Amino acid sequence: MDSILISNIILILIFILTLFLPGWLFLNFLLKTTLSKLEIFALSVPMSLSIVTLSILISGKLGISITQINISIILVIILLIEIILLKIKKQRHLPIPYFETFSRKQVSILILSIALMIFIKTTFLVNTIFPTATDLGHHMFWVEKIISSEELVTYSKIKVIPDNIESANTSVANFTESQPIADFIIGEHIIFVVISLLTELSVVSAFPSLVLLIINIFTAFALFILSLRLFHKLPFGKNSAIFSFILIGPLYAISGAQAKFVSGGVIGNIFGNLLIVSIIFFLYISFTKKSRNSMLVVFLLLITLIYTHHLSTFILAYSLFGIFITLFITNWRKIPKIAKSWKYLMTSPVLLLLITLSSLFLIFIYTPSYLNTEAISSATGAPNKSTRTGIKFTQLKTMIGDARLSFAIAGFLLSLILFSKNRYIVNIRKTLKTELYFKLSYTRAIILGWFGIIFIMISYPAILKVNIISSRIATYIAFPSAIIGGFLLSWLLFYIPKSLPKNISTTVLVMLFLFIFSDGLLDSNNSLKELSKTEEAVQTFHAAQYLSKNIQESTWVLKDHNYITSDTWIKVFLATNYSNPLSRSYFRRYESHPNREHCTLEMISNPGTDLSKDCFTSLNIGPVMIDTSEDGEKFNRNLNFVKVYENNNSSIYWKK
Amino acid sequence: MLKSQTSQIIFAIVLMLLSSVIFLFWIENTQHSYSYNKSWWTISFIEPNPVSANLNFEIENYTSTDKFTYIIKNDSDITILKEDLLIPKNSKKTVSIKKIQNDRTIVEVLHEKDIKTLTK
């Protein structure tokens, strides 16, 4: 059989084994009678991610080396325990009719939406699945490092700093001691390590992006089931959920935290979004079903998020703050009752044990590098840069989509109005038979609190003392926007035909749907124009393999980041040090940060100067990889270098 | 037949996601190939260390034409050796040459209208 086909089959089996089965068995054991089959299916992916990540993290800290055989044993043990527990419990799945039955029309729309979503994302990925993205390259270096060292790594790097910071542009530079990096967290890498070891596939392949694609698609599906729960008492609740899915799945399928983040390797955000949506879902189940088991899942997912992505953890913390504040303000008379139910949820012995053990692990055994006073205080407080003082509404519309944001804001305002106690509004609710829904405290708190707090974080961060780049937070509003936008659309579909003459109502609805579909699909159409850089990237990888064959671990390499395609992946092939090769950064960075070292700029831009010669000596650089047409001539003329390699784009010179 | 709607939805997701994964995995594999829909070639010293006197070099061909010519020159641009080579697509060939005493050796390889060089 064709080797590609065999690798493909193995990869799919390993995906099922690592990204589905552990979570599916666990949820069937814990919440079989509480959740529908559809919910268990959708949430098996975040649950598996959590189980696999935490078990490898714990075993790694126990000193068990991260090898193919050990990971296989750990996975088999986990699955066996789950199967035994499931057999002992012997629960039967009791159908939950509301969440398991849809009209034929709803099923058709849902399946069509799923097909359209996967089709658009796949079409985009045809040109971008080849691993070229900068972020993914950085992450895969660490995945490779964990695989080669067979242990959890300490994220650190050696920096280059000028000897004289006052005149950095004319100063020689030197290496610092290894310094911790707060940007990488172990949870972003474990699942890739596991899949790479079990499939024996290189990290320089399609599988990392395929993992992100699966996570991204299941995030949209998790949002669907969350929306289904939130609005299940509404006569138009299922339509709300379907519209929410349409707003996050097939529409705006590429931009924002969607397919672009998949090919770009923005691992933390992609994982974070799935975990945030899942945590909010399980919180809702815990509160409304008074389920201690569900609360246990909330904490497991929360611990995974803490070990996966700092920004997502930060956003979740603020989102929960917004949700709880809204809950308390809108239910202030019921606070004692709410507190009593929370006390019951939080005092289960298993949960208390989990909280105690995870706190001890977090404090004494493995503290993520971002959990320190300096990092926390730099992310909170008054915004200190122009990029952190909030983004304009027009920019937010571009990022989230005109139609989606407009519907979300209108839906938010509608929700506020409909929750009013004004007699006229109360009458509308009674006419629409939606009275029951508007008594649902948790739904109200989630849709208003989640969207509201993120909107303030993006637009007016100073109010909440948020000191983080506002555009980074903006991608997170897509999820509550889709829920509220879906709610508004289904409300309009329900309300307009009842209140307007048929001709007018049909026209209004057609216009609305045309607006949202054209905006959402046009957004994807613009992104689909991205061209493939495969031919250039393949040559970069070829050159990197040549370097890795011919250098020693102590050899420092220099390369250019301005003109070489996929240059960040060179470090994955060298697999020596996160900072190796050193890089001539984007030219603008040397201008905007005049105090940064200039050796990396000088050594490629002017290899013949005295400063350049001193830099080569002080940094002990051997090979230099540059774009031949942009920088080759300067090196050809210089007798201090030999030229050892050339492909169609780049050349490697070696300092004598 | 899938009777429940839940099963229909799950089946649709699984089927479409699997198709996407299989297709993208195959696409990336073809893109990873040095020669699929690509045309490029490369030259490199077998021993790149500048202090090494070994000047043997290798040509790898991923273009559709197989005719190469290599020229060995000294630093004064005087041709010492010129020879034609046939290197089929998807293959490589090592060329052995000797270092020019007390001078920089320039290796020029010509292929169609393209020239690549090595120096030592």
pLDDT digits (tens, 9 = 90+) for A266-292: 999 999 999 999 999 999 999 999 999
Q: In A, which residues are within 8 Å of B102 by CB distance?
A: none
Least confident residue range of A64-68, A84-88, A316-320:
A84-88
Confidence band, pLDDT 50/70/90 cuts, at residue A520: confident
How far off is chain B from A115, nearest CA to CA, in Å? 7
Domain match, B21 and B55 both: no
Its sign, for the CA torsion A201, A202, A205, A210, is: positive
How does DSSP assign B42-96, residue by residue? EEEESS--TT-----EEEEE-SS--EEEEEEE-TT--EEEEEEEE--TTEEEEE-
Same domain, B13 and B55: no
Instruction: Give yes or no for residue A134 having a pLDDT over 60.
Output: yes
Q: Which of A74-88, A111-125, A232-246, A497-511 has the lowest mean pLDDT?
A: A497-511
Q: Is B11 on the interface with A (CB under 8 A)?
A: no
Which residues of chain A lie closer than 8 angstroms to B20, CB-CB?
A: 118, 121-122, 213
Q: Work out the pLDDT band at A372, boundaries 50, 70, 90.
A: confident
Q: Token pair of A440, please?
A: 């649902």
Task: Find residue A624's DSSP bridge partners.
Answer: A558, A653
B64 and B112 both lie in a single domain: yes
Residue appearing with tokens 């038979």? A433
Tell which wins on pLDDT, A374 or A191. Answer: A191
Which range, of A210-219, A242-251, A314-323, A372-381, averages the lowest pLDDT? A372-381
A300-314, A434-448, A511-525, range with the lowest pLDDT: A434-448
Q: State what percent of residues in chain A have pLDDT above 90.
A: 69
Q: How far is A656 from chain B (nearest CA, A)?
A: 6
pLDDT digits (tens, 9 = 90+) for A556-566: 999 999 999 99
A100 → closest Cβ in B5, B26, B50 = B5
A154 or A385, greater pLDDT: A154
Indicate whether this model's pTM tops 0.90. yes
Burial class, A634, CB count within 10 angstroms (exposed 0-12 / middle 13-18 / buried 19+): middle
The residue among B68, B54, B70 whose CA lies nearest residue B108 is: B70
Counting residues of chain B whose pLDDT is more than 90, the rounded percentage is 72
Cβ separation A645–B18 shorter than 8 A: no
Q: Prior bond to A594 cis, omega within 30? A: no
List all residues 6 or more positions away from A92 whose beta carbon is below 8 Å from its beta carbon.
A32
A607: closest CA of chain B, how far (Å) = 16
Pairing state between β A650-655 and A641-646? antiparallel
Q: Is the pLDDT of residue B1 over 60?
A: no
Closest chain A CA to residue B75: A639
Question: Is B118 exposed, middle or buried (CB count within 10 Å of its CB: 0-12, 13-18, 19+)?
Answer: buried
Q: SS3 letters for A300-366?
A: HHHHHHHCCCHHHHHHHHHHHHHHHHHHHHHCHHHHHHHHHHHHHHHCCHHHHHHHHHHHHHHHHHC
Residue contact A646–B38, C-beta within 8 A: no
Angle, CA of A434, A439 and A445, to the nearest 5°:
110
Q: Tell me the C-alpha distance between B4 and A251, whole Å.
A: 27
Whether the CB-CB separation of A224 and A479 falls below 8 Å is answered with no
Residues in B closer than 8 angstroms to A118, CB to CB, are 16-17, 19-20
The amino acid occupying position A518 is S
Reported as a pLDDT band with limits 50, 70 and 90, residue A314 is very high
User: Across the interface, which of A4, A213, A642 has its CB nearest the CB of B119?
Assistant: A642
Q: Give the chain B residue nearest A546 (alpha carbons).
A: B44
* Interchain contact, B50 vs A654, CB within 8 Å: yes
Whether residue A93 has pLDDT greater than 90:
no
Would the CB atoms of A114 and B50 count as touching at under 8 Å? Answer: no
Backbone angles phi, psi at A422, to 5 degrees: -55, 135
pLDDT of residue A432: 64
Structural domain boundaries in chain A:
102-128+206-527, 134-190+533-655
- Closest to A643 (Cβ–Cβ): which among B21, B38, B117? B117
What does pLDDT average to over chain A?
Answer: 91
- Domain of residue B67 covers 41-119
Tell me, yes or no, whether B61 and B113 share the same domain: yes
Element (H, E) at A143: helix A134-149
Check pLDDT > 90 for residue B62. yes
The residue of B4, B36, B44 whose CB has the most chain A CBs within 10 angstroms, and thus the best one to mutate to test that interface, is B44
Of the candidates B17, B32, B40, the beta carbon closest to that of A647 is on B40
- The alpha-carbon radius of gyration of chain B (Å, integer) is 25
Q: Which of B4, B16, B30, B39 to mutate to test the interface with A (most CBs of A within 10 A)?
A: B16
Task: Quote the CA–CA distance of A67 and A588 in Å, as a whole number.
Answer: 43
Q: What is the pLDDT of residues A144-189, one digit of tens each?
A: 999 999 999 999 999 999 999 889 999 999 999 998 888 899 999 9
* pLDDT at residue A529, rounded to an integer: 66
Report the pLDDT value the prediction gives residue A621, as an integer from 0 to 100.
95
Chain A residue with CA closest to B22: the answer is: A8
User: A631-650 pLDDT, tens per residue?
Assistant: 999 999 899 999 999 999 99
A471-498 burial string, b = 16+ CB within 10 Å, else e? eebbbbbbbbbbbbbbbbbbbbbbbeee
pLDDT at site A433: 62
DSSP single-letter state for residue A176? E
B93 plus B112 within the same structural domain:
yes
Q: How many residues does chain A have?
A: 656
Element spanning A649, H or E: none
Tokens of A464: 């909440």
Q: For position A21, what pLDDT does the model report?
A: 98
Chain B residues 35-74 with CB within 8 Å of chain A: 37-38, 40-45, 48-51, 60
B12–A12 C-beta distance less than 8 A:
no
Q: Which residue, A538, A588, A592, A583, is CA-closest to A561?
A: A583
Element (H, E) at A222: helix A207-230
Distance CA B92, CA A435 (A): 77
For chain B, the helix, strand and coil percentages under 3-state DSSP, each to the nearest 5: 25, 35, 40
Query: Using the beta-carbon criterion (under 8 Å), do A114 and B12 form an inter-chain contact?
Result: yes
**More confident of the two residues A421 and A459:** A459
- Residues 78-117, chain B, touching A (beta carbon < 8 A): 104, 114, 116-117
Alpha-carbon distance B102 to A43, whole Å? 71
Give A512's pLDDT tier (boundaries 50, 70, 90).
confident
Give yes or no: residues B93 and B59 share one domain.
Answer: yes
Burial B18-29 (b: 16+ CB within 10 A, else e): eebbbebbbbbb
CATH number at residue B70: 2.60.40
Same domain, B27 and B1: yes
Q: Tell me the three state secondary structure of residue A626.
A: strand
* A218 and A276 Cβ atoms separated by less than 8 Å: no
Total count of domains within chain B: 2
Ramachandran area for residue B37 (φ above 0: left; ψ -120 to 50: alpha; else beta) = left
CA distance A141 to chain B (A): 19
Q: What DSSP letter does each residue of A438-460 carry, written as one string?
A: GG-HHHHHHHHHHHHHHHHHHH-
**Does B9 contact A38 at a Cβ distance shorter than 8 Å?**
yes
Pair B55, B112 in one domain:
yes
